[in-house]
Structure 1
Amino acid sequence: MMIDENPTPMMTDVEPWGDDLELPSTTFVLANGLTVIVHEKHDMPLVSIAMLYRVGSRDEPAGKTGFAHLFEHLMFGGSENVPGSAVENLQKAGAIRLNASTGRDHTTYYETVPLGSLDYALFLESDRMGHFFPAINQTVLDQQRNVVLNEKLETEDGTYSKLYERRLKACYPPEHPYAHTVLGEVADLQTATLEDVRDWFRTHYIPSNAVLTLVGAIDVGMVRQKVETYFGHIPAGEPLFRPAVWVPAIPWGRRDVCQVKGKAASLMVCWNIPPYGDSDTILLSVAANMLASGMSSRLVERLVYQEKIAESVTTTIEYAAMVSQFVITVSACEGAELTRIEVLIDEVLQAFIHNEQNEEMLARVKMEQLSAFAASYSSTSSIADLLSASYAMTGSADGYRRIINQIQTAALVDIRLAAQRWLMAQRYVLEMRPFSYQQDGFPLPDRSRIPESVPTMPISLPVLQHAILDNGMDVALVEYQGQPSVNINLILPSIHEEKPGVSALTFSLVNESGAGDRDALALHSMLRKWGASLYVRWDTQSTSISLQCRSQHLSASLGLLADRFFRTTIRESDFERHIQQWADSLNAYKHEADNIIAYVLPGLMYPPGHLYRVPGGIEATRASLKQLTFSQCQAYLQRLLLTRKGKILVTGETSLEKIVPLLNHYFSSLLCVEGEIKPKDVAIPTRVNARVFLIDIPKAEHSIILAASLTPGMDWEYDAAFGLLSDVFDRGFSSRINKNLREDKNWTYGVSQWSSNSVGSSIQCLEVSVQADRTIQAMQEIMNEYCALNGERPVTEAELHEAKAARLLSIGGMLEGFDGINHMVEQVQCYLLPDDYWQNYIEQLNKTSLDEVNQLARQYKRSDTLTWIIAGDITVLRDGIRQLNFGDVQVINDIGESLYE
């Protein structure tokens, strides 16, 4: 079959995907002023809830900064009729995507629950609104205040956080509501009294100041009845004062110059512009994408590719209700002058405002912007967030439609005039220069009975359809009709080079290179024209070339995928630029604890010669970078076309009847026989004794503690059971270690548990950042928890039951929307797992016994085989850590490159 490959229609004939984003909703208001928004989405038995209160840091008077965020934390401490942690209570009901956020204008609490838990979730949210006051006590205040102060320390313990605060003070006068950070001042938080926070609740957490949005397998009648039952009796509250729009002028010549440890020079230019939803701000969002979105955008093309004085350029608009900000950020190449970069920015802006005539670029940017916007709102939780924020910021749940319409109809002349009005005004400039240093009215319902979480019907897993191309290549398809897009992954077993860095560097070059008859800029322009994206991903298991495109442009977009695979052209100038960027980044690692930990971890966990002993992050050392050559990358790229067995994964709005002929047309010349690649050992290495490695971060105000161990990988028959063990012990809010260090001790903002998703073996990591003066005690508490797990406090039947129920209830949320389905299926295919992996995973969860979980704890949660990594001020910590006697103590010098040499 021949495929029609006629030239594409004129860009003006292409309809942006954003035009397809229709989210019909119903809005009603209770007698007490509570606004309720309902959107029906019946593809999964889930409901997402967004409870938005119109209160943020802008509402904080002098002396009470940080109160909005502090109160967000207090609201998770339990209410009168639902005592205990709100997080734990909701997780037991199967909640996923559970959290809260506080910004300048709003505070939002959100969760996604199985349909059977809707009553429970609404009861809990109404209890927090109407019956929280009795639960506010000094103990809860002191506990959450300490958690918030730790969050502030961890978040703002860095140059860039301090620079953000400096930018606020430069751009806004002291009396402006945006002139302070959301986290507030330490002194204000420390002096907050019980009566202060009670008054905050009485004033702001009232129905007339709230927007409740529900999205999912519901209908308006059902929602109205439930919301009236649970929320209708709550008093409306008193009228509130709301700050109006205030776009202050930035004083002339406002500029800061600062020195930043270990970073290349960078420049930030910032303008105050109108708030979210303003016509000029909508036009400026299009201008931002024309200036710095992709290789062919004006600033990127000029600074990165023509002048070669910048590594990257971004434009962002930070939206808010009173005033937004338009920000250009440029990361300079080493040796580039920031004054020169600023001059070039002005030249590009002047040319754009006075001379920009490229209608085709405007059409591409609109397509890209609207397609990205629509793709962001496919899940119930993202839709709930959009509708609630749209109502709060524009006064209507469908206010986003006005923004979409204005983007679609925006004319170049209007965009240029908006840019002239605002980007020619006074601005704030921040120069960041590298610093090299030496170490120195309704009836009250019965609230005594909490609604139960009713189990929802079993989850239906996606069905994989299979076909074979003419060349023998396997095709696996998952049809998804809820979004007009298709994702195609060409998956090949990875080729492993002996020289470190060749593979990763080659694919970095490929992602910025041209293909076929198009150079990099032309290829990028064509992708934008079709609303498509192309990305090459490499890891130790597989190499995948991924295409995401609109279903109506599938054939043309597949042609670009084929060009990327068969006719990629990498450039030596890009090779040299990447080598320098990687070297600069490695030089900067010595100031960045997280990067050093990620870099050294594989070298500490795996022996020489193991497939997974590869530096984390940048997969090279400074010495190995000097040995890499462009010809090595060229040769590696050619090896992609050698004989190997691969597969193609397709997800989205298509069928085998449609996609197979297209794939045969474009990939018939791809050889597909069993390859001759020699397998490398990926098995779990021999267990070693406990060790402690120290990374010196002089004068650090907090320390990072990481405890790592090895388990079998994702193909392990006990993968699901081990996940349940981690849920109980060290993963998530309800885990034992998080309760200990965060909730009981208040030494940290939170504990995280993560793993490397690998086949054969996997690194399991417990990681926590604690205030520096609690480092030794925190390590001892973690050790105590490990010992108790395998001693006097094994996992209990109740803990296992709760973990199993929550995980089974939440699996459905993983399958929601195009992105969720694609991620689950892609994970199986890329890690070379069987098609029925997720079915087997669910079966494992159901049949896991308490004996199995505790046996796994004895085998894999052992304190005597832990590898500890501690990043902090070792001049203060070293002696105390040695006295713990947790294992042999070693110091990692510089960034740990010797592990890989």
Structure 2
Amino acid sequence: MTVKLFALSGVALATLAMPAFAQTAAPAPAPKPVPVATLVKQVDIPYSEFTLANGLRVIVNTDRKAPVVAVSVWYNVGSKFEPKGKTGFAHLFEHLMFNGSENAPGDYFTYTKQIGATDLNGTTYFDRTNYFETVPSAAIERTLFLESDRMGYLLGAITPAVVDEQRGVVQNEKRQGDNQPFGLVEYKQIETLFPATHPYGHTTIGSMADLDSASVEDVKNWFRGHYGPNNAVLVLSGDIDTATAKTLVTKYFGGIPKGPESVLPAAKVPDLPAPKAETIKDRVSNTRIYRMWAVPGLNDPDSVALDVAAGVLGGLSSSRLDNALVRKEKLAVRVSANNESFSQVGMFSVFADVRPGVDPALVAKRLDEIIADLIANGPTADEVQRSTTSTISRTIAGLESVGGFGGKAVALAEGALYSNDPGFYKKQLATLAAETPAQVKAASAKWLTRPVYALTVVPGARDAYVESTPPAKVVTAAEPAVKGTRGALPAVGTISELVFPKIERARLKNGIELVYAYRNAVPITQAAIVFDAGVAADVPGKLGTQQLTLDMLDEGTTSRDSIAIAEAKERLGASINSGSGLDRTGVGVTTPSANLAASLELFADIVRHPKFDPAEVARLKNQQAARIASELTSPQGLAQRVLPKLVYGAASPYAKGIGSGDAKAVAQLTRDDLIAFQQAWLRPDKAKIFVVSDRPLAEVKAMLDTRFGDWSPTGAAGTKDFSAAATPAAPKIVLVDRPDSPQSFLIGAAPTSLVGTDDLLPLLAANDTLGGDFTARLNMDLREAKHWSYGVSGSFRRGQFQTPYIIGAGVQADKTGDSIKALQADVKAFLTTNGVTKDEFDSTVSDAIRSLPGNFETSGAVLGAMQQNDLYNRPDDYYASLPQKYRALSVVQLDAAARAAIDPAKFIWIVVGDASKVRTQLDSIGLPVEVVSAASVADVR
């Protein structure tokens, strides 16, 4: 399902950190990185396994760090098993599994919300379909009941209405993906690299025509043929032991009869008969040049070597394509290389975004030359080491989670399903650590010298979109629901409440406050230096100054150039990133703790000693201009550039938050502008450092004191002025014309009088019913009831001085006007006559309390919470005190808070879509309609 509700609240600082000033001498060299083999030894997921009589394979990993268990069910069925004319069925069926079963009717998310599940979803790809959730330990029995009911007792819940509903949702998911710039490339890639008869020869999302044709009997037969227990792997990872798992799994899954097993289709790696070159048009801002090959899957010995080749070529920050095409020759503004490994085959792809004004033929020639050089000569030992260290470090950090999209349960399930070995992840990492330049060279020469698919995407009008043409509905008698036969849902035991880490504080020698939490689940340290700046600090008339300043930080210091910085990060397995929210700007570092000293040395150099080399400034300005142009082709990018002035008012400092800045202003920026911004905002007297680590506070403080304790500010500090009265726009509709859009992207924005330091808990609880949850009314109406959208969300965009309410949704183009009317009606009803019900209130409070341990399972979540508490002046124990606060709320309080904060008559609507299709739909809404082109969004008031 992978529901992606639109993130409208700006950049979270949980993974950030920021720069500052002061030209002091660089510290002494730091310790060398630990060997990659040492890092590999830190990766271990102990497990046991058993198999039920019906063939269900069960894998158990005990991890007691939090009172939660990840439940992950992986079925050996994906799109590669689909016959001709049935494309998209595996994915469609995955959606149907969330619409209730015979003994748990209704939406599956209703039940998971009752128990406080986190990290829950379902996904489908070529090789598998999986369902997963992380639940409180005391709710494991109920969760196993629900999962087993989906596996063994589903057919009676599948009705024509349910199939029609999810067919519409899936088709809007397809439109949403297709609507993005370069959204049609995957279709060309797959249909060219693989014959139409090949199991991997069609996309998982499928075709509109095949989805239109799906009948109830089709999907029931799909279930009967693939969803038996002997075709599945169940992984339990977390606060559970094998004996308990065996008892409960046998109880709930043991009675499900065996079914057919998916027969693995023959899927050889195909060869193109000859190189193929093709050009297509898309509504994009720049020309993109691709090179693509079909390659072996993850069980082939060459797969890991190809991963390394991709990293060296275009995956690392210091990749050959980055260094040559972006940094040195300045022919491209972005490059990438990726080896995507599936169970039986893979796809190796490379692309370069041509810098505006450069001849694409020259970029294509250099792209081919660089690829050819890697094939002919192979990588260096240092390149291999940097690639492997980076990958292994990311793996270690990801395995802090027991579930979700990439935790322990995922590693075990993938190994069991794809390689018949739950511990396959460890073999892969050992192979990676032992990879040699000769092996990478040999694999590259073997697979990347075969005929290539060379695709070029150029700006232009798309071909006509192939829309859905469902057959006329035949009215039939409604099927009676099958009555459940398994009895009541199991009781949920006493759920442990959140134990938030103890927060400790210290100060560096120069007064910078250090806020610290100890976590030892993985040997990783995450730190962020956060400055009182943010979007509100960008320079009036020079919007984009802050972004360019941040981008320049790791593009050269007084002692390292950009390539040296990139290489140093990779050798350490460290990531250093920067970003800004509305009120804060940060630079963050994540590193294996074994390399903490060396990583902090590099981190401090980047923060304190950026060189702002004029040549690098010029290069980064070109890249930022390209990013701005890209935002002007993206539905979300266009909407986000229009929104701030309308909802905050043009005079508000928050109105500066228009993406990557103003193109004309960025073109005029100088090195002096960046230094001035750094000196004013990225300075020690505006900084706090937040750290979550398995190293003790004293050790961390000593390292930070050595590198930051002598740092002093230069010049006057910057100031933010919120004294002007907020003057949001009057209610209206702004239609941004984006031709050829199969979907419209909507934002509804309501100004409020709230500020970020207000106690918003009653409002957030009320919004759980309106727009803040999958089961919220806005999403359930447009997605589940009307199936006009893949997802709708509503949330408060929390700023220190202004906090509007924002709704975001992608809707099918022919339902744009009706969707706005439906959202208006839903909001108005909620705020007047149909507020929070007792059941909704109970569900919200229960979910909020029970989900807390899962929400703060990882160090990254704790780091983000620490920063949020600081920003909103909350005590360090705020999250630990939430259960008591939630229990003190009432339905009346929630309704009163929502009705006082949100005025349904004040909504401003932004629509990004094809004006020729949607303009007339908006006339009947009763609001003024202003139509603007993508190029003129900056002028909207």
TM > 0.5? yes
Q: Residues 378-414 of structure 1: CA distance to partner in whole angstroms, max 9, x if unpaired?
A: 1011211121111111111101111111111111111
Check conservation: 2:139, 2:492, Cα contact below 8 A: yes
- Equivalent position of 2:320 in the other structure: 298
Check conservation: 1:38, 1:220, Cα contact below 8 A: yes
Residue 899 of structure 2, aligned match among 841, 855, 858: 858
Check conservation: 1:51, 1:212, Cα contact below 8 A: yes
Equivalent-residue separation in structure 2 for 1:183 and 1:437 (angstroms): 20
- Equivalent position of 1:385 in the other structure: 410
1:263 maps onto 2:305 in alignment: no
Aligned amino acid, residue 660 of structure 2: I
Please give the secondary structure, in 2, of the residue aligned with 1:858: helix
1:405 maps onto 2:444 in alignment: no
Check conservation: 2:34, 2:594, Cα contact below 8 A: no
1:761 maps onto 2:783 in alignment: no
Aligned amino acid, residue 855 of structure 1: A
Q: Residues 397-454 of structure 1: CA distance to partner in whole angstroms, max 9, x if unpaired?
A: 10111111111111111111111111111111101122389999xxxx9711211233
Larger deviation: 82-91 or 102-111? 82-91
1:309 maps onto 2:364 in alignment: no
Residue 824 of structure 1, aligned match among 849, 857, 865: 865
Measured after TM superposition, the shift of residue 603 of structure 1 is 0.9
From the superposition, tell whether residues 266 and 611 of structure 1 become closer, same or farther in structure 2 (CA, over 3 Å). Answer: same
1:330 maps onto 2:352 in alignment: yes
Measured after TM superposition, the shift of residue 662 of structure 1 is 2.1
Name the % identity: 28
Residue 203 of structure 1, aligned match among 207, 220, 225: 225
Residue 111 of structure 1, aligned match among 129, 133, 137: 133
Measured after TM superposition, the shift of residue 669 of structure 1 is 1.7
Aligned amino acid, residue 54 of structure 1: N
Measured after TM superposition, the shift of residue 521 of structure 1 is 0.9
- Equivalent position of 1:484 in the other structure: 523
- Equivalent position of 1:464 in the other structure: 503
Equivalent-residue separation in structure 2 for 1:509 and 1:351 (angstroms): 30
Equivalent-residue separation in structure 2 for 1:730 and 1:296 (angstroms): 42
From the superposition, tell whether residues 346 and 829 of structure 1 become closer, same or farther in structure 2 (CA, over 3 Å). Answer: same
- Listed as ranges, the matches of 1:369-768 within 5 Å are 369-381=391-403, 382-435=407-460, 447-494=486-533, 496-620=538-662, 622-640=663-681, 644-671=685-712, 677-681=718-722, 685=726, 689-711=730-752, 715-768=756-809
Measured after TM superposition, the shift of residue 726 of structure 1 is 1.3
From the superposition, tell whether residues 659 and 581 of structure 1 become closer, same or farther in structure 2 (CA, over 3 Å). Answer: closer
From the superposition, tell whether residues 497 and 837 of structure 1 become closer, same or farther in structure 2 (CA, over 3 Å). Answer: farther
Aligned amino acid, residue 342 of structure 2: A
Check conservation: 1:388, 1:397, Cα contact below 8 A: yes
Q: Residues 631-686 of structure 1: CA distance to partner in whole angstroms, max 9, x if unpaired?
A: 21133233457672432212111122212222222222223799754342189836
- Listed as ranges, the matches of 1:220-239 within 5 Å are 220-239=242-261
- Equivalent position of 1:171 in the other structure: 193
Aligned amino acid, residue 728 of structure 1: T
Please give the secondary structure, in 2, of the residue aligned with 1:838: coil
Check conservation: 1:267, 1:429, Cα contact below 8 A: yes
Please give the secondary structure, in 2, of the residue aligned with 1:183: coil
Check conservation: 2:226, 2:261, Cα contact below 8 A: no
From the superposition, tell whether residues 455 and 290 of structure 1 become closer, same or farther in structure 2 (CA, over 3 Å). Answer: same
Higher RCO (C-alpha under 8 Å, 6+ residues apart): 2
Please give the secondary structure, in 1, of the residue aligned with 2:851: helix
From the superposition, tell whether residues 270 and 839 of structure 1 become closer, same or farther in structure 2 (CA, over 3 Å). Answer: same
Larger deviation: 324-333 or 777-786? 777-786
Check conservation: 1:614, 1:900, Cα contact below 8 A: no
Please give the secondary structure, in 1, of the residue aligned with 2:653: coil
Check conservation: 2:47, 2:62, Cα contact below 8 A: yes
Equivalent-residue separation in structure 1 for 2:689 and 2:261 (angstroms): 59
Larger deviation: 865-874 or 539-548? 539-548
Equivalent-residue separation in structure 2 for 1:641 and 1:866 (angstroms): 36
Check conservation: 1:612, 1:682, Cα contact below 8 A: no
- Equivalent position of 1:868 in the other structure: 909
Equivalent-residue separation in structure 2 for 1:705 and 1:349 (angstroms): 42
Please give the secondary structure, in 2, of the residue aligned with 1:378: coil
Q: Residues 145-187 of structure 1: CA distance to partner in whole angstroms, max 9, x if unpaired?
A: 2222222223224563322112111111121011111121222
- Equivalent position of 2:84 in the other structure: 62
- Equivalent position of 2:848 in the other structure: 807
From the superposition, tell whether residues 744 and 267 of structure 1 become closer, same or farther in structure 2 (CA, over 3 Å). Answer: same
Larger deviation: 79-88 or 360-369? 360-369
Please give the secondary structure, in 2, of the residue aligned with 1:118: helix
Aligned amino acid, residue 932 of structure 2: I
Larger deviation: 415-424 or 851-860? 851-860
Equivalent-residue separation in structure 1 for 2:30 and 2:633 (angstroms): 51
- Equivalent position of 2:932 in the other structure: 892
Check conservation: 2:576, 2:590, Cα contact below 8 A: yes
Measured after TM superposition, the shift of residue 894 of structure 1 is 3.7
Number of residues paired by the alignment? 892
Check conservation: 2:797, 2:805, Cα contact below 8 A: yes
Measured after TM superposition, the shift of residue 266 of structure 1 is 1.0
From the superposition, tell whether residues 216 and 698 of structure 1 become closer, same or farther in structure 2 (CA, over 3 Å). Answer: same
From the superposition, tell whether residues 319 and 830 of structure 1 become closer, same or farther in structure 2 (CA, over 3 Å). Answer: farther
Equivalent-residue separation in structure 1 for 2:497 and 2:814 (angstroms): 49
Aligned amino acid, residue 560 of structure 2: R
From the superposition, tell whether residues 439 and 685 of structure 1 become closer, same or farther in structure 2 (CA, over 3 Å). Answer: farther
From the superposition, tell whether residues 464 and 555 of structure 1 become closer, same or farther in structure 2 (CA, over 3 Å). Answer: same
Larger deviation: 160-169 or 321-330? 160-169
Aligned amino acid, residue 583 of structure 2: Q
Equivalent-residue separation in structure 2 for 1:588 and 1:304 (angstroms): 17
Aligned amino acid, residue 351 of structure 2: T
Equivalent-residue separation in structure 2 for 1:580 and 1:460 (angstroms): 48
Aligned amino acid, residue 324 of structure 2: R
1:286 maps onto 2:312 in alignment: no
Equivalent-residue separation in structure 2 for 1:646 and 1:219 (angstroms): 45
TM-score w.r.t. length of structure 2: 0.90
From the superposition, tell whether residues 366 and 643 of structure 1 become closer, same or farther in structure 2 (CA, over 3 Å). Answer: closer
Measured after TM superposition, the shift of residue 791 of structure 1 is 2.8
Please give the secondary structure, in 1, of the residue aligned with 2:751: strand
Equivalent-residue separation in structure 1 for 2:158 and 2:890 (angstroms): 39
Measured after TM superposition, the shift of residue 59 of structure 1 is 0.6
Measured after TM superposition, the shift of residue 16 of structure 1 is 4.7
Measured after TM superposition, the shift of residue 117 of structure 1 is 1.1
* Superposed CA RMSD: 2.7
Equivalent-residue separation in structure 1 for 2:416 and 2:464 (angstroms): 52
Equivalent-residue separation in structure 1 for 2:923 and 2:494 (angstroms): 50
Equivalent-residue separation in structure 2 for 1:705 and 1:638 (angstroms): 39
Aligned amino acid, residue 459 of structure 1: L
Larger deviation: 422-431 or 786-795? 786-795
Equivalent-residue separation in structure 1 for 2:341 and 2:608 (angstroms): 42
Check conservation: 1:728, 1:735, Cα contact below 8 A: yes
Larger deviation: 795-804 or 221-230? 795-804
Equivalent-residue separation in structure 2 for 1:90 and 1:791 (angstroms): 29
Aligned amino acid, residue 462 of structure 1: P
TM-score w.r.t. length of structure 1: 0.94
Aligned amino acid, residue 820 of structure 1: A
Larger deviation: 214-223 or 834-843? 834-843
From the superposition, tell whether residues 231 and 155 of structure 1 become closer, same or farther in structure 2 (CA, over 3 Å). Answer: same
Check conservation: 2:66, 2:238, Cα contact below 8 A: yes
Larger deviation: 68-77 or 505-514? 505-514
From the superposition, tell whether residues 545 and 4 of structure 1 become closer, same or farther in structure 2 (CA, over 3 Å). Answer: closer
Aligned amino acid, residue 931 of structure 2: V
1:774 maps onto 2:796 in alignment: no
